[in-house]
Every structure is written in structure tokens, then in C-alpha cells.
Chains A and B, each alone.
Chain A
Amino acid sequence: NAGVTQTPKFQVLKTGQSMTLQCAQDMNHEYMSWYRQDPGMGLRLIHYSVGAGITDQGEVPNGYNVSRSTTEDFPLRLLSAAPSQTSVYFCASSSWTGQTNTGELFFGEGSRLTVL
């Protein structure tokens, strides 16, 4: 009963390095999303997808890229890491039945990223 799986759990990068945070879900959810969590700021949406081949920007998309080639996977790429991207990143998925979807989000355990 895996749910939403994120890897790695911890990562330290140097400024300018690139990396990919992986997210996979086994619930056949159409909707997937990435959030970052910073102290005192709650969760902020980075990117989201409502199905394979469909992605869109959230509240704080700058510095991040995503793609959705399969229903199961939704990787988040940092092309050139900056200290401001030090954060805890959460992937979340939901069943999706359209604009009026009422489904709740299922979250992964998080990936803690430090950029030096």
C-alpha cells in the first residue's frame, strides 16, 4: 500500500547544481502536484498536472520544471539550484473527475532540500 512515494528524502546541493525530485503514485490518480513548505508560509503550489501530458504553473513556479509522461510519475526538476530553494518539497495526488472534483490530496513523506 505505497500511496505517494518521493525520493530522495534528503539532498544537499551546491548553488548552480541541478537535480530531479522523483514522485510516483500507485493509486491511478490523474491529478498530481508539487508544493514547497517553508516555516511560517504554509504550503505553496509550484506546479500541477491533471493528466499525462498536461502540466501548469502554480503560485511559485520560477526555477522549477515538470513533466508528466505517465499517470504514475511527476518529477520536479531544479535546473540551477539557488539557496532560496532550500525547503521541504511535497508531492501530492488526487483522483480527478473534472473542475468540480471534490477529492482530497494524498501526500508523500517529503523531500528535504538544502542548497548551499
Chain B
Amino acid sequence: AQSVAQPEDQVNVAEGNPLTVKCTYSVSGNPYLFWYVQYPNRGLQFLLKYITGDNLVKGSYGFEAEFNKSQTSFHLKKPSALVSDSALYFCAVRDPYSGAGSYQLTFGKGTKLSVIP
């Protein structure tokens, strides 16, 4: 079975500082990995994904994430945080070769990011 862990319920960072939101995953094969962001009272919005290739992927709003197969991690990063980045962030994983589960996207519990002015 596939699973995702986001070890931090909340991350606080000062505006202008770099930010990292952590994600680790567990799948039996090669994963498809995604990051989504949710602003208050809104649906989730896609940020970026890793399917194959370069381990560093770039996405929307200046975010990037690094895929590390040996550590089974896919941490979300941004060089300089903005107050407007404050939101709930979800990591998600799919194992495309896991039979019935290959159709399912499994989400982590979410990490609340607060950027302090």
C-alpha cells in the first residue's frame, strides 16, 4: 500500500527566509509525486509534480521540490518566502503499477505554513 507522511503539522518562517515543507513516501515501485496548496475555504491547487527525470522539479509561484529516492523524500522548497505563501500544503503519491491502487492518489495530512512579516 502507498502512503505519505508530512512530519510537521505547522511550519513558521520569516518573510524573505527560505522555506522547506517535508514529505516522505512509501510505495512498492517508482512513485509519481505531487504537491498541492490549499488557501482558506478553497479547493486544492496543483503546484508541481515529479514523474521521472531530473530530481529537482520547479513549479508554480517559485516553488521547487527535490526527489530523493534513497531517502524516499520529496521536500517542497522556496528560496524566499512571501506572506502570501501562507496556506496548507499537501504532498501526494501515486504508484502507477500497484494494480487497483494505481488509480488512487494518496495525500498526506497537510502542513500549515505561516510566513511571518
Task: State the interface size on chain A (CB cutoff 8 A).
Answer: 28
Q: What's the Cα separation between A32 and B3 when bound, in Å?
A: 21
* Interface hit among A38-46, A62-70, A74-82: A38-46
Chain B residues with Cβ under 8 A from A100's Cβ?
Answer: 96-97
* A1 at interface, CB cutoff 8 A: no
Instruction: Identify A102's interface contact among B36, B51, B106, B109, CB under 8 A.
Output: B51
Q: What's the Cα separation between A59 and B51 when bound, in Å?
A: 23
Q: Is the CB of A56 within 8 A of B46?
A: no
Q: Is the CB of B104 within 8 A of A58?
A: yes
Q: How large is the interface on B (under 10, 10 to 19, 20 to 34, 35 or more residues)?
A: 20 to 34
Name the CB-closest residue of A to B47.
Answer: A104
Q: What's the Cα separation between A12 and B49 when bound, in Å?
A: 36
Chain A residues with Cβ under 8 A from B97's Cβ?
Answer: 99-100
What is A's interface to B at a CB cutoff of 8 Å?
4, 31, 33, 35, 40-45, 48, 50, 56, 58-59, 90, 92, 99-102, 104-110
Q: What are 27 sample pairs from A and B whose C-beta atoms fall under 8 A apart?
A: A31-B103, A35-B107, A40-B9, A40-B109, A41-B109, A42-B109, A43-B107, A44-B107, A45-B106, A58-B104, A59-B104, A90-B44, A92-B43, A92-B44, A99-B97, A99-B103, A102-B49, A102-B51, A104-B34, A104-B46, A104-B49, A105-B44, A105-B105, A107-B43, A109-B41, A109-B43, A110-B41
